[in-house]
A and B are shown apart, each in its own frame.
Chain A
């Protein structure tokens, strides 16, 4: 067998992602890139800038802000948008609550994770977006392994897993009716390790909470949660200080952290390669509600 060295897996994944991004930009009238300040959306935004360099992005970024974010991530978001000199739209869950579109959950297990869907769909309608780039990967979750690259959403934002458009040879059918949109996933075939390896290769900066730091935490359902002001604790949930990092960045009410001393990308990459627990299993309380938790949320228009 001849050499495998000249072209690596990351080169092929990068080329595929750029192809998808360019295809969507060319075919859709008003795309937007969903940017949370999480590592996957940072990689996605980086790939988008490379796809059109030296020209700028032909679409804006949008953050669905739950109001319950980690401050480090918001700080990073604002720095990044300035750094790449592109436009950011912020769709706010707090505004959806104030406008009476959704009702804030209450109690110790309250989360704005589900409320994001309404805010996202409202923003899509308001800006008439016909495609939203997302950083979802097929290795994340069972329902996502079944999703297409150009994933069709009807006028209600719903995903119909039984009626997806086949994508043979990576040929994408980009036709839409008015009011419908696509969720487009350029990172579909990437794994968590690929993401970290790419961050290392490209020298990307990340929000500080991805690296080991001291934080006040408490244990819930076997997971370490950040002791934020807006999270009500149950009896017996004692707060202590630990050295932790986050593997995913989402709403602070449902994103857990893990004990870690990894302070650099290299160390995180080494830990990820060794890890025995999946990213969502380690850090997403929202997936634990039922066997089909993600599928049900996706059907309703979630990310």
Chain B
């Protein structure tokens, strides 16, 4: 039986004014993750702004400029429990810099909470968010049809929007949709149902989060080496390979290969932070002992001999460009993939994705918040796989060696020869 992940990464996305902050405030409040003093703070902040009600949106707006301007600048992270399952929720603002922030918050997310205004219906931003979810491999979306109170709790309107959402996601080969009629303001269907929606028998937001299937360790074993631990044991110089298992399971006796070098050996012992084990799975941090002393250093990937990732110095990839200065080709940058940093050249820019028209177009440059397809040439070969096959092996960030800024997020679509 597969083991379900005890922790889910969720991301909340939506347009401005569709009630996202209120929904998050509600989730924290109703799961008991807001304390009296925090509520008192929200009350005071609400009064200062002349609100007649408890404006839970003020809770998540953390920085001075955000409160002054009533906007959300950056991604905020919140933790709460859904009946024993930990939810780590990234709150991505829905402003002009949305792609940058949404990629930051949604990369690695298991589920997205997407808000749609019941009166306004789907917007072009809703479709963009679904397309980005599809690209980032977010498999599930909880589509909250919010402000259902403002359309008279109408079942017909909800059903119509639910169908539109499912069709919109299918159009981009996107995530599974669970649509929920909701009122963030009145607290309907977040953790509790309401008599005002007698026609709705589906789950609340919290129930979906608790029940979501997210099996861990069902992929091939991979472990990027972070650190080679050396110590003396009875006069012998012992070496252990410390790292975090990014996917799959490793067992004592497994035949493994260290890539890109290609040396092979057998796992002789597994140490989970001081405790010996016969096996260990993602996402644990471990130290592996090998039967023979092979050439392994930081950045190498340990994988099963019979199911290794590819090794390549050229990849085709989707790039989410995050920097103000545009990307043109050719461009000299650096690629960081798990524990390795290598110089890279963006050889060719193939297309820019037009998320509004849902098609690709020729482009000479990617501006901030653009998504595009490019070919990257790496200074040294890396162990790599398409993002759709293995997230950790197929994700990278681009660093500008001049400014040291993180300028792009990379999802490998194809591993190329040469």
Contact = CB atoms under 8 A, between A and B. Distances in A.
Given A1-B211, A7-B216, A176 B404 contact: yes
Contacts of A277: 35-37
Interface in B1-29: 1-7
Given A4-B4, A166-B100, A189-B79, A50 B339 contact: no
Contact of A16 (B5, B283, B322, B396): B283
Contacts of A53: 273-274
Interface stretch (B70-78, B173-181, B182-190, B260-268): B70-78
Interface in A6-43: 6-9, 11-16, 18-19, 22-23, 25-26
A138 B78 contact: yes
Contacts of B338: 171
B35 A276 contact: yes
B108 interface: yes
Q: In the complex, which of the residues A8, A51, A275, A296 has the most CB atoms of chain B within 10 Å of its own CB atom?
A: A51
B409 A282 contact: no
B7 A26 contact: no
B399 A161 contact: no
Contacts of A156: none
A170 interface: yes
A177 B404 contact: yes
Nearest to A279: B35
Interface string B93-129: 0000000100110011000000000000000000000
A188 B77 contact: yes
A51 B3 contact: no
A75 B6 CA distance: 38
A171 B231 contact: no
A23 B339 contact: yes
- The majority secondary structure among interface residues of chain A is loop
B244 interface: yes
Contacts of B6: 4, 7-9, 11-12
Interface residues of A, number: 60
A252 B359 CA distance: 61
Interface stretch (B82-90, B303-311, B344-352, B371-379): B82-90
Interface stretch (A95-103, A142-150, A263-271): A142-150
A44 B107 CA distance: 26
B332 to A, nearest CB: 15
A295 interface: yes
A285 B90 CA distance: 29
A173 B3 CA distance: 32
Interface residues on B, range: 35 or more
Interface stretch (B61-69, B150-158, B159-167, B198-206): B61-69
B38 interface: yes
Contacts of B283: 12, 15-16
B30 interface: no
A169 B62 contact: no
Interface string B230-258: 11010000000011100000000000000
A177 to B, nearest CB: 7
B45 interface: yes
B79 A51 contact: no
A25 B283 CA distance: 20
A1 B6 CA distance: 12
Interface in B259-290: 273-274, 281, 283-285
Nearest to A171: B397
Nearest to B37: A281
A72 interface: no
A22 B107 contact: no
B169 interface: no
Nearest to B400: A175
B104 A167 contact: yes
B405 interface: yes
Contacts of B226: 19, 22-23, 26
A295 B62 contact: yes
A164 interface: yes
Given A22-B226, A175-B399, A2 B285 contact: no
Given A19-B244, A275-B35, A166 B62 contact: no
A292 B3 contact: no
A1 B213 contact: yes
A282 to B, nearest CB: 7
A138 B404 contact: no
B318 interface: no
A51 B103 contact: no
Contacts of A172: 336
A53 to B, nearest CB: 5
Contacts of A173: 336, 397, 399, 404-406
A282 B36 CA distance: 10
Nearest to A15: B285
A3 B148 CA distance: 35
B229 interface: yes
A208 interface: no
B42 to A, nearest CB: 10
A281 B35 contact: yes
B241 to A, nearest CB: 11
A166 B103 contact: yes
Contacts of A3: 1, 3-4
B167 to A, nearest CB: 28
Nearest to A168: B107
Q: In the complex, which of the residues A11, A22, A168, A277 has the most CB atoms of chain B within 10 Å of its own CB atom?
A: A168
8 tightest Cβ-Cβ pairs between the two chains A and B: A281-B37, A168-B107, A142-B62, A18-B285, A166-B104, A175-B404, A50-B273, A278-B35
Interface of B: 1-7, 35-38, 41, 45, 59-65, 67, 73-79, 84-86, 88, 100, 103-104, 107-108, 211, 213, 215-216, 226-227, 229-231, 233, 242-244, 273-274, 281, 283-285, 298, 322, 334, 336-339, 391-392, 395-397, 399, 401, 404-406, 409
Interface of A: 1-4, 6-9, 11-16, 18-19, 22-23, 25-26, 50-55, 138-139, 142-143, 145-146, 161-162, 164-173, 175-177, 188-189, 191, 275-278, 281-282, 291-292, 295-296
Given A165-B406, A189-B77, 16 more contacts: A3-B3, A4-B6, A7-B216, A7-B281, A9-B7, A13-B7, A25-B227, A51-B273, A51-B285, A52-B242, A138-B79, A165-B405, A171-B397, A175-B401, A278-B38, A292-B67
10 contacts: A2-B4, A4-B6, A18-B273, A22-B285, A26-B339, A54-B274, A142-B61, A168-B397, A282-B37, A292-B64
